[in-house]
Amino acid sequence: MQTQMKSRPLFDGPIVRRAAIDAVRKLDPRQQLKNPVMFVVLVGALMTTGIIIRDLFSGNGGELGFNTQIALWLWFTVLFANFAEAMAEGRGKAQAEALRKTRTQMTARRLANGKEERITAPQLKKGDLVVCEAGDQIPGDGEVIEGIASVDESAITGESAPVIRESGGDRSAVTGGTRVLSDRIVVRITSEQGSTFLDRMIALVEGAKRQKTPNEIALTILLSGLTIIFLLAVVTLRAFTEYSEVESGITQTSATVPVLIALLVCLIPTTIGGLLSAIGISGMDRMIQRNVLATSGRAVEAAGDVDVLLLDKTGTITLGNRMATRFVPALQVEPQRLADAAQLSSLADETPEGRSIVVLAKEAFGLRGRELGELNAEFIPFSAQTRMSGVDFAALDGHPARSIRKGAADAIRSYVETCGGTYPAEVQTTVDDIAKNGATPLVVAEGNDVLGVIELKDVVKGGIRERFAQLRAMGIRTVMITGDNALTAAAIAAEAGVDDFMAQATPEDKLRRIRAEQTDGHLVAMTGDGTNDAPALAQADVGVAMNTGTQAAREAGNMVDLDSDPTKLIEVVEIGKQLLMTRGALTTFSISNDVAKYFAILPALFGALYAATPGQPGPLAALNIMQLTSPQSAILSAIIFNATIIVALIPLALRGVGYKPMGAAAILQRNLLIYGLGGLITPFIGIKLIDVIITAVGLA
């Protein structure tokens, strides 16, 4: 599913067709009112159309063709903006619908008074108990209160391996739409059917139901303010033009209402106004593409602001388990012998550490794993008492009996000394060195001979160090959370390149840390899965719950990662930043565009004023620096550019601006150059080109 979504083309046939229809449907003034900038354009389009109709009936058709073209492009401006929003919605919905399909036509077996009854899934209420057996779909989000079962969650996660869900503990949460593969469980429904994660997510990509985020509201206020300023500038321009025309002895005003409306629409920030909601929706969409469900747009925005990441060591920074990385033999001991003994003692050890010892011996010394049964040996499992494990061989075929043990240094020491051997000093030095470097030493002994030390180390994920360096460049601090002791934690922290770590961290420590960071003004993001993570997830500004986590954890966070991949937190932050950057870039672009539009329309309006001889161009014709053909072609070119730039920028709004992890100053410089300077220059070129074209085809 993940890969499917990523390969969806930007302009998918069916989505484009539906978006085109939706664009017309969105002309509903009630919807337009939500977007003050585009509402002004709509009013302008209606007024111009009214003037054309009036002129048609009064027979005053001198400007008819010109005014009709203006009206047409005004309508296009509104439609293009609607189309942008519809496109973003369509793409978001396509993903959501794929997920929703899994929930339709579902039936539930509700337990009421000990009896089972069949109802449809939407009838379920919070607190209902439902029975799910092998082959059943789980009808809603809930918690297992009885039984254990394997569940196929591929509909949600795309991961085909079944997972175990059981009552009690951290694995009790189930998601609506997943399928029970074996056994029988009783599930208590924990959320109303209308408010499951899926429903909330679908609401976030549907424009009509979408709540504006705080930053979007602030930006809308700014854009509305600019619109009012331009409205004032254009309305008063009528008076100033009239004054100047009287002074120049001109009777026929060039500042007609359609021309002034065209100027107004060109000046108000229609580019960002038209694309603002598409940017927001596609930000949500990019989250969904990475299989992250956010419960609010606000959470996505907050992700961009996060400057402290609390990352669990296991799974995010390290591969998960400690692995054998080195054999350090004692003096006078062949490395081969140590490796052989270590491998033998671990053959029956099914822990990941045990298996990694077998693998290391094979890789480093070519020792192949053998079957214990063939060797006539007895495996001594690890116990809390002895803190050792090992293997005993009975004497056979002339081979003497052997007894190999491996375990913590002090345990082996007392074992060896009890057997009458001595514990070599240099082994102790090795043990101390390894521990100091944050790894775990395991000492191997055969009989009363100490053979040497196995170094077990947490293996840091490839590339993670570079990732953290990038984050640091972006001003984001990373804090590693681990249950390890301080020594081990410090070593891994240094190797992975995190900025800080919390060793032997309890959930309470996490919560305290988050509060402390927030008091200092930081915004904190974290991931979590267990029930005991819930308070911290709720406290964090961005809490990403793992889908494999408990229902409590998922309710506490404001995002759920369907892939349960803690590393994704970094991507979540990047998506948030990209969303904000796209908004800023297009706002800057939109405002810098205005300069060129003034130079197109003002000379068209003022060109004849104060002319030395009537009918000749006056001094202000000098403002026509683009050398546009005629006043009419200049006005049309500006308004055509203004409308088509919205369409041209739809891909940018949907994809987001190009993003590289860099410091703020560098990002700003880059975006200012592209969108500030670019926004200044582009319309000069665009308007000139359009002027050449419409002059050639004779539209003006």
Partner 1 sequence: MTTLELVQIALYLGLLIVCTPLLGGYMARVFGGERTWLTPMLRPAENAIYRLVGVRADEEQSWKQYAWSLVLFNVAGFVLLFVLQVAQHGLPLNPAGLPNVEPLLAFNTATSFVTNTNWQAYGGETTMSYLTQMIGLNVQNFVSAASGVAVVIAMTRGLARRQASAIGSFWVDLVRCVLYVFLPLCLIFALVLVSQGVIQNFNAYTQATTLTGESQLLPQGPAASQIAIKQLGTNGGGFFNVNSAHPFENPTPLTNFLEMLTILLIPAALTYTYGMMVGSKRQGWVIFTAMLALFLIGLVVMLASEYGAMGAMEGKETRFGIANSILWGAATTSASNGSVNAMHSSFSPLAGGIALLNIMLGEVIFGGVGAGLYGMLIFAILTVFIAGLMVGRTPEYLGKKVESWEIKMAILAVLLPSACILLFAALASVTDAGLSSRANAGPHGLSEILYAFASGAGNNGSAFAGLNANTPFYNGLLGIAMWIGRFGVIVPALAIAGSMARKKVAPPSSGTFPTDGGMFVALLMAVIVIVGALTFFPALSLGPIVEQLLLNSGRVF
Report CA dihedral (494, 499, 505, 508) to the nearest 10 degrees. Answer: 180
Residues 171, 188, 210, 477: which binds partner 1 (CB under 8 A)? 477
Chain positions 302 to 361 lying near partner 1, rule: CB under 8 A, are: 304-305, 307
Using rule CB under 8 A, residue 610 touches partner 1: yes
Q: Identify which of residues 169 and 663 has a Cβ nearer to partner 1 in the complex.
A: 663
Residue 129 CA neighbour count, 13 Å, CB half: 11
Q: Which stretch binds partner 1 (CB under 8 A): 81-89, 137-145, 478-486, 608-616?
A: 608-616
Q: CB of residue 261 vs partner 1: minimum separation in angstroms?
A: 15
Using rule CB under 8 A, residue 257 touches partner 1: no
Q: What is the 3-state secondary structure (H, E, C) of 211-280?
A: CCCHHHHHHHHHHHHHHHHHHHHHHHHHHHHHHHHHHHCCCCCCCCHHHHHHHHHHHCCHHHHHHHHHHH
> What's the rounded Cα separation, in Å, for the pair 586 and 581?
9
> What's the rounded Cα separation, in Å, for the pair 150 and 170?
15
Q: CB of residue 258 vs partner 1: minimum separation in angstroms?
A: 17
Q: Compute and round to an integer the Cα radius of gyration of the chain.
A: 35
Chain positions 616 to 635 lying near partner 1, rule: CB under 8 A, are: 618-620, 622-623
Chain positions 519 to 538 lying near partner 1, rule: CB under 8 A, are: 519-523
Q: Identify which of residues 43 and 623 has a Cβ nearer to partner 1 in the complex.
A: 623
> What's the rounded Cα separation, in Å, for the pair 357 and 353?
6
The two structure tokens encoding residue 363: 């890789």
Q: Which stretch binds partner 1 (CB under 8 A): 142-150, 151-159, 400-408, 578-586?
A: 578-586
Using rule CB under 8 A, residue 217 touches partner 1: yes
Q: Identify which of residues 78 and 223 has a Cβ nearer to partner 1 in the complex.
A: 223
Q: Identify which of residues 215 and 277 has a Cβ nearer to partner 1 in the complex.
A: 215
Using rule CB under 8 A, residue 665 touches partner 1: yes
> What's the rounded Cα separation, in Å, for the pair 464 and 470?
10
Using rule CB under 8 A, residue 576 touches partner 1: yes
> What's the rounded Cα separation, in Å, for the pair 50 and 659?
45
Q: CB of residue 575 vs partner 1: minimum separation in angstroms?
A: 10
Q: Identify which of residues 224 and 632 has a Cβ nearer to partner 1 in the complex.
A: 224
On whether the CB atoms of residues 119 and 140 are closer than 8 A, the answer is no
Tell me which amino acid residue 227 is: T
φ, ψ for residue 468 (rounded to 5)?
-70, -35
Q: CB of residue 671 vs partner 1: minimum separation in angstroms?
A: 4
Which residues contact residue 506 at a Cβ distance below 8 angstroms, ignoring those fewer than 6 apart?
Answer: none
On whether the CB atoms of residues 525 and 286 are closer than 8 A, the answer is no
Using rule CB under 8 A, residue 243 touches partner 1: yes
Using rule CB under 8 A, residue 658 touches partner 1: no
Using rule CB under 8 A, residue 225 touches partner 1: yes
What ranges make up the beta strands (E) of 37-114? 107-112
Residues 181, 233, 367, 490: which binds partner 1 (CB under 8 A)? 233
Q: CB of residue 606 vs partner 1: minimum separation in angstroms?
A: 6
Mark whether 561 is an active-site residue. Answer: no
Chain positions 456 to 475 lying near partner 1, rule: CB under 8 A, are: 472-475
Q: From edge to edge, which strands make up the β-sheet containing 107-112? A: 115-120, 107-112, 129-133, 184-189, 142-146, 173-174
Q: Which stretch binds partner 1 (CB under 8 A): 87-95, 490-498, 541-549, 586-594?
A: 586-594
Chain positions 164 to 183 lying near partner 1, rule: CB under 8 A, are: none
Q: CB of residue 608 vs partner 1: minimum separation in angstroms?
A: 12
Q: Identify which of residues 234 and 284 has a Cβ nearer to partner 1 in the complex.
A: 234
On whether the CB atoms of residues 361 and 338 are closer than 8 A, the answer is no
The one catalytic residue among 136, 141, 199, 312: 312
Residues 229, 395, 625, 648: which binds partner 1 (CB under 8 A)? 229
Distance of CA 346 to the CA centre of its chain: 42
Instruction: List, by residue number, the catalytic residues.
Output: 312
